[in-house]
Structure 1
Amino acid sequence: MGEVSRGARALVVCPDIRGMAYDLDAQSRLSEAEGLALAIGITIAESFVLPVREVRPNLLFGAGQVDNIAIACEQNEAELVVVDGALTPIQQRNLEDKLSRKVIDRTGLILEIFGERAATAEGRLQVELAHLDYQQSRLVRSWTHLERQRGGFGFLGGPGETQIEADRRMIRQRMGRLRKELEQVRKTRGLHRERRERAPWPVVALVGYTNAGKSTLFNYLTGATVMAEDLLFATLDPTMRAIALPGVEKAILSDTVGFISDLPTQLVAAFRATLEEVTSADVICHVRDISNPSTAAQKAQVLDVLRDLGVIDGEGDTSIPILEVWNKWDLLSVDDAEELGEQVEADDDIVAMSALTGDGVDTLLDRLGSMLTRNATLRSFEVPASDGRRIAWLHAHGEVLEDVEAETDGSNRLITVRLNPKEMGQYEALD
């Protein structure tokens, strides 16, 4: 997108506005902003929290604070200023004028990350749509030739149309085309999901706060090479792989984009489709970085998103079973591990592990297997030995405990198998 160059030295400023309700404390927000900057390859020259008693409509910060930011930029040779908050187009333009440097706000920074991470057609369309939505309000700072006018002909614009009006019109047209393309992609993806729901394999969705270790766990379990660095938003597009679990010959593991606090509204709307995969899962694995001081606040963020998606209702009940995975256990102090270990022992819906070392992975797999087979019942079928299709289906999709020649008829097989209700329905639907 050309907004930020990799390796640029940046000053990261986290405004702490008096009276504003934040999900995380100022220091945690600053750490998160640093993580966002590092995720896009920015070099952090200096970072600090800046208390804002009263928001200035033209600059956000007070004049003295802007002077201090300018001095810090000079001292640290910073060519970019990252403001961890939402700037209006006017504030952004005025800050750039005052500081003689590029200024980018939280939304712009997240868009840069999404732009780098998007790998699928849907991801790229979503990024461009969100970026255009963001940019159309900021054309005021993008053009220095606002007074210039151009003549027009046909549908390209009438005489006297200013450059900025033409650009806004082109952006609106492009956004309209993108929405149509996205709708088509979503319809196609919906068909894929319907096919998967009819398929016999259960789906396990990994969700969690960004940088909780979902992709590292995904790679460990599947041997895949999904991007898994210690960066925020290392995953954007859902990735799926088949894995084997105890009692389940084949399950689909789905890795999703990480959640984050205060995600700008236009980005939530643009990327909601990415998270809809979660609603068709049979089990949700909520991966938490249990070593992070803000882990409780991060959990609340994830649960809010799951509530928005309809997975959790107003009573706190879930339509899909959720297993909490307390990841990065190896980073805990001995005292913390001992204290938290008691909670893990007392709750079957929590697993402690380290995706990096593999400790606890066997417990995780066992727990997932038992959750997926929880409603399975033992059934016996007498199948003609010549009906290879049904016999193969039962072996492929159920846990076969016995397959012997039927006593009543030597040409039949008696198969004892454990099936859940979904699998039973699929077996009965076989022609």
Structure 2
Amino acid sequence: MNKVMYGENRRRGGRNTLCRLLRSGRWFLCLALHCSVMLPGFASAAEPVPATAQCTDWNNSQGDIQLKLPASVTIQPGMVDIPPIPSVTVKYKCSVPDSNNHTVAIVSLADAHNLISSLKSLGLTLKMTITDSSGGAVGHWTFPAPGGGIYPEYVAIGDSYKGNDGTGERTMTINATLSRNPSQSTRPGFYAIPSLSAFRLKPYYNYGSGPLLTSPAIRLQYVPTCFVRFQLDKNNINFGPVMTKDVDSSFSRRDNFIVTADVNPNCNSGQFGNILGGYTPQLIGAQTYYLDLPLKVSFTLQGGGYISGNSILLYKQDTLTKNGLKLTITDPDNHPVKFGEIISPDAQSLPGNKLGEFSNGNFNAKKRYNVKLSATGEPALTGKYNAQVLVKVEYY
């Protein structure tokens, strides 16, 4: 190598080069710098080492992304619409060690076939729409594919990006809907789709690494409306006579009753399919699933007062005159019940109106409710009072 440099100096007519001027101890450093530029596979100190092609979250993690499918979907005979699925937002970034343009992709994996097989057997369709904060491409997937067609192996998401520059921090939004084929039979039955890792986020189609998109286990339950029966341990609560002189801010009288629910053996002529047993998907290593049926209880005022907040303000009997007393009902954790008809979404946020659930092969639910008679702060009137409350238990 000394001869190479010496020859170059000679060719330049004896002119001093940078390396010629340096002392011997630095001569080889100069050669090493020149060689690092000329030989492939070596990077100069001024050029950063390219990153691996990958997608991560904003914290550089490749942890799984969980799709928020409901734990269970209960369908009544003739029901087509399925409760909406919450959208999922994914904060991510991707890069590729080159200067080409790429578009982020979501790629389907082998588990997608298991997902499609389960959806087909249940007469269900899963639609996914994926949008991105960068705009650009919108991904669409329908499982199973319409008309028995072949679903795409991947969908492109967002604007294209230059590999070395990366996407920067982006936010992806995944919206999913479940729908049922109305021509599919809705005989009582219970099925389950196990937890699956059906998709992966990648820097571009099937290249590089990225987090898995997983779907949780979901139960599909076709349950007759008459499936649940219930009873009260008492139908009448009598607080007895109240002296007006005793009705002050400290006045209260208490009682309780118990609501018990189980299976109505006469419903649908006793034909429940596999609802009362377990269901094991036909997949290797699949666990056994059981019906998961939450129950709600409604308390609807039929007369004798009017609803104010979580209380019933009582009337003097056969009048519309307030008598200075109010009635409240609470559960064992002191959660007040909401009076009136309870629709299914409300039952999630009203613990007092949640009776319990049928789960893990157990088909009995019981809850004690406390009833309190107290003063409203207004003058107490003499005379009888009588309020009627209709109690109803349903699944949701």
User: Which bracket does the TM-score occupy, shorter chain normalised?
Assistant: under 0.3
Largest Rg, 1 or 2: 2
| Larger strand proportion of the pair | 2
- Asked which structure has the greater RCO (Cα within 8 Å, sep 6+), the reply is 2
TM-score by length of 2: 0.22
TM-score by length of 1: 0.20
